[in-house]
Amino acid sequence: MIDALPKPPSDTSPQTLSRRRLKILSYNVHSCIGTDRRLDPARIADVISELKPDIIGLQELDVGRSRTGGVDQVDIIAREVEMDYHFHAALHVAEERYGDAILTSLPLKVIKADMLSSIGEQRGAVWVEIDVGGKPLQVFNTHLGLRGEDRMAQMTELTGPDWLGGLEKENPARILIGDFNSTPITRTYRHAAKRLTDVQTALVKPWRATFPSRFPLLRLDHIFVSDSIKVIDAEVISTPLTRRASDHLPLLATIEI
């Protein structure tokens, strides 16, 4: 009589089912004006479609602005990639708006969208809760200012009790996406890195710069995650298309929650 061979581990075990792998994208789209000076929201949608992210934080979107033809850029992109979204205008003058958005095809609930402290150019942030297989994921997207003092004040506010800091006691899964206009040597970056994990430094691989897209020298765009999130991969996407579509390269992270 031959003993039965042991069964291989099932991919449908409760432990496996409790995990979910997601692709997270951070992308400053430069008002959909490429390095070739061509205005083309559909080209940004093409970049996104090729990468197939589950959750996207976009920065520098124009909505109803005369300088970019008066169109709603975020709506065009969201329709092309078949995702829902929430847009927050950091700048709102008459019918013209400029700001940031979170896009996803997963169930989305807006928690907060508001302005951040600014002496110079106005900046804001958006916070949504995304249902990932019945588990809430807190996602934040922002675009910080150009002045160092503004950036530090804005990051302090974002990590304070009205935003990320208010969640530390419950410690839910959290993701902070954005163009921070901050390299890793800055106080602003270090302030965030003390509280969350940078997806690029979580891996044993060289980090890569995101700006400017044609000859990237600076790492300004970041994705930070809380300690309950496992980073599987992180890559800056440099292709002929991404080097033309915007002055920033997209940053794509694969995570498991």
Q: Is residue 139 part of a domain?
A: yes
Q: Which residue range forms the structural domain that includes residue 93?
A: 21-256
**Residue 16 in domain:** no
Residue 3 in any domain: the answer is: no
| The two three-digit tokens of residue 119, written as one number | 């002496």
Q: What is the model's pTM?
A: 0.92
Q: Residue 178 corresponds to which tokens in the numbers above?
A: 């954005």
- Residue with structure tokens 């890195």? 193
Is residue 184 in a domain?
yes
Nearest CA to 131 out of 232, 54, 223 is that of 54
State the pLDDT at residue 197. Answer: 98
CATH number of the domain to which 42 belongs: 3.60.10.10
C-alpha 208 chain-centroid distance: 16
Within a domain: residue 8?
no
Q: Work out how many domains the chain is built from and give that number.
A: 1
Instruction: Give a yes or no: residue 15 inside a domain.
Output: no
Q: 190-240, pLDDT tens digit by residue?
A: 999 999 999 999 999 999 999 999 999 999 999 999 999 999 999 999 999
Count CB-CB contacts under 10 A for residue 130.
21
Condensed to tens digits (0 to 9), the pLDDT of residues 38-95 reads 999 999 999 999 999 999 999 999 999 999 999 999 999 999 999 999 999 999 888 8
Model pLDDT, residue 231: 98
Query: Is the residue at 112 inside a domain?
Result: yes
DSSP conformation class of 218:
B
33, part of any domain: yes
